Amino acid sequence: MTKRPLVLLDVDGVLNPARRHSLRLRRHECVLDGRSYRILLNTRHGAKLARLAGDTGAELAWATTWEQHANAEIAPRLGLPALPVITVNGDPGSRAGEHFKTRHVAEYVAGRPFVWFDDSLGVADWHYLKDHPGVDEFLLVDVDPGTGLTDAHLTRAREWLSGRGAAAVDR
């Protein structure tokens, strides 16, 4: 079993912010299961995420309700290859106030350290992950859904991935 760290990516609110705040964001039309969606993406995010993963020895993975659609609609537009997908849909709710994706992430990471970029996580998620027996070190990066992923978020993740060690779980 590998201890290679993971970088987990949400789409809506992280890579697809709620509002256009930069000229670098481009509108795209996606059709998922017969429904049309407009998304905003910064194509520079793909190279920045790939560089983060490459420089720190991490593996990128999707932790989004887009699931496999992220590989079809988001990854190519960002210049990323198909990434592993954490299956998160079909779970109706939380057990202790945590986001419905959190339990699936806890099972997926299987002891690997990880950074998770998401706009919907809180204290309940941190406690759930900290107390879950299959979870080791992690960093939750709270992304403002209005602006999405920023260089500051990427720098925080890079510093944590580069400096992690025997330290306690970080928030």
By percentage, how much of the chain surpasses pLDDT 90? 80
169 part of a folded domain:
no
156 part of a folded domain:
yes
Domain that holds residue 85: 6-163
Residue pLDDT, tens place only, 128-149: 999 999 999 999 999 999 999 9
pLDDT at 2: 56
CATH code of the domain covering residue 112: 3.40.50
Q: Report the chain's mean pLDDT, rounded to a whole number.
A: 91
pTM over 0.95: no
CA distances from 130 to 23, 90, 134, 136, 140 (A): 38, 24, 9, 8, 11
Residue 96: half-sphere exposure toward Cβ, Cα within 13 Å: 13
1 part of a folded domain:
no
128 part of a folded domain:
yes
pLDDT at 24: 87
171 part of a folded domain:
no
66 part of a folded domain:
yes
74 part of a folded domain:
yes
62 part of a folded domain:
yes
By percentage, how much of the chain surpasses pLDDT 70? 92
Residue pLDDT, tens place only, 5-21: 999 999 999 999 998 87
How many separate domains does the chain show?
1
Contacts by 15-20, CB closer than 8 A, 24 or more apart: 15/41, 15/42, 15/45, 15/74, 15/78, 15/148, 15/149, 16/40, 16/41, 16/74, 16/148, 17/145, 17/146, 17/147, 17/148, 17/149, 18/145, 18/146, 18/148, 19/146, 19/147
The model's confidence at residue 89, banded by pLDDT at 50, 70 and 90, is confident
The model's confidence at residue 57, banded by pLDDT at 50, 70 and 90, is very high
